[in-house]
């Protein structure tokens, strides 16, 4: 495990370095507070730190305070090492952001024991972070397909529409529904139906850019949100998505199954709606037209007054 030693006294720094290297630590040693903070700011910087109180550039408590302001990197367990042992100094050091306090001259056994405590705390911290990330994923993703769930994709759609209005851009949304999916479940069973949904989800993710959103809207319906997509490209992009499903049968435990999808699409620039619910209603109406027109096709929702050539039905 990486550990940072920051001490302007060369003898103390070398002694600590040798001691910790014998214990298997990967030691990074610096002689001032500014270099210490630089190391702690690195994405893969050390998770343990031994900081001398008095250092040139930035004192130990100052490094602690600055380190606690850092964002985007894992927690660092910091131990202040100093000859100061007055209660007010200990309180000041801990309130600056230090996790522990070791007085000079330090005892090797005590030093190593305190570092082991720090490692246990970091391990617990990592487990809590992992558990939190797992809970967040479960709360925002569909358990079958691992796509964003309905609540999460609708929240992202609302955020994207708000951003689009501010920046006068365009968001394209696609409401997608598998054709005759009930027949798949009735004929082959729900296990095969689940296999189809999982493969369709994989293809949908593959068909969009990394910064677009794909969610399971409900049942066999999916919602795709394309960020910064020009309205003139909406139909073309939707056809690519449709072909990605229709052109290759889905391989299942009961053999290959031909699957098609109908899409109702909408480009936000063409509409003056401010609520995601209103836009979803128009996309749903376009999807209904696609179903009524024979399925396996794309229909674009446009205001009735529009004269845009894309207002023609797309076969």
| The pLDDT of residue 275 | 80
Establish if 117 belongs to a structural domain.
yes
- If asked whether residues 167 and 89 sit together in one domain, one would say no
- If asked whether residues 12 and 134 sit together in one domain, one would say yes
> What are the contacts of 181-185 at 24+ separation with CB within 8 A?
181/219, 181/220, 184/257, 184/259
- If asked whether residues 159 and 305 sit together in one domain, one would say yes
Establish if 171 belongs to a structural domain.
yes
Angle between helices 60-68 and 87-95 (to 10 degrees): 30
- If asked whether residues 99 and 188 sit together in one domain, one would say no
Which of residues 109, 139, 169 is at a domain's end?
Answer: 139
| The pLDDT of residue 310 | 46
- If asked whether residues 129 and 221 sit together in one domain, one would say no
3-state DSSP assignment of residue 228: coil
Establish if 18 belongs to a structural domain.
yes
Count structural domains, the chain: 2
Which CATH number fits the domain that encloses residue 223? 3.30.70.270
Residues in the chain: 315
| The pLDDT of residue 305 | 55
Give the pLDDT means over successive 10-residue stretches in the chain (315 positions). Answer: 93 92 94 94 93 91 93 90 82 90 90 94 92 92 96 94 90 96 96 97 94 95 93 92 96 96 94 82 95 96 61 41
- If asked whether residues 193 and 242 sit together in one domain, one would say yes
- If asked whether residues 174 and 204 sit together in one domain, one would say yes
Instruction: Give the residue numbers spanning the domain of 304.
Output: 150-311
Residue 179, Cα to own-chain centre: how many angstroms? 32
Establish if 145 belongs to a structural domain.
no
- If asked whether residues 42 and 86 sit together in one domain, one would say yes
pTM value? 0.70
- Residues tagged active-site: 220
- Quote the tokens at residue 204: 């949908």
């Amino acid at each position: 495990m990486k550990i940072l030693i920051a001490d302007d006294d060369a003898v103390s720094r070398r002694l600590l370095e040798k001691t910790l290297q014998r214990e298997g630590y990967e030691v990074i040693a610096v002689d001032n507070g500014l270099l210490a903070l630089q190391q702690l700011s690195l994405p893969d910087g050390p998770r343990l730190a031994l900081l001398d109180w008095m250092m040139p550039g930035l004192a130990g408590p100052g490094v602690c305070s600055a380190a606690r302001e850092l964002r985007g990197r894992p927690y660092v367990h910091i131990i202040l090492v100093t000859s100061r042992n007055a209660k007010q100094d200990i309180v000041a050091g801990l309130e600056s952001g230090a996790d522990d306090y070791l007085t000079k001259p330090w005892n090797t056994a005590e030093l190593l024991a305190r570092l082991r405590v720090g490692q246990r705390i970091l391990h617990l911290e990592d487990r809590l972070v992992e558990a939190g990330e797992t809970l967040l994923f479960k709360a925002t993703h569909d358990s079958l397909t691992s796509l964003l769930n309905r609540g999460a994709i609708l929240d992202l759609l609302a955020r994207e529409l708000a951003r689009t209005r501010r920046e006068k851009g365009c968001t394209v949304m696609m409401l997608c529904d598998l054709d005759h999916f009930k027949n798949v479940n009735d004929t082959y069973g729900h296990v095969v139906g689940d296999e189809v949904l999982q493969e369709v989800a994989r293809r949908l993710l593959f068909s969009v850019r990394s910064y677009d959103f794909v969610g399971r809207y409900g049942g066999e319906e999916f919602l795709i949100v394309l960020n910064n997509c020009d309205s003139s490209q909406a139909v073309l992009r939707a056809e690519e998505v449709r072909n990605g499903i229709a052109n290759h049968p889905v391989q299942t435990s009961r053999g290959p199954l031909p699957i098609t999808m109908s899409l109702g699409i909408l480009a936000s620039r063409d509409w003056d709606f401010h609520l995601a619910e209103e836009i979803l209603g128009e996309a749903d109406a376009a999807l209904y037209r696609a179903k009524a027109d024979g399925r396996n096709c794309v229909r674009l929702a446009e205001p009735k007054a529009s004269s845009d050539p894309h207002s023609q039905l797309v076969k």
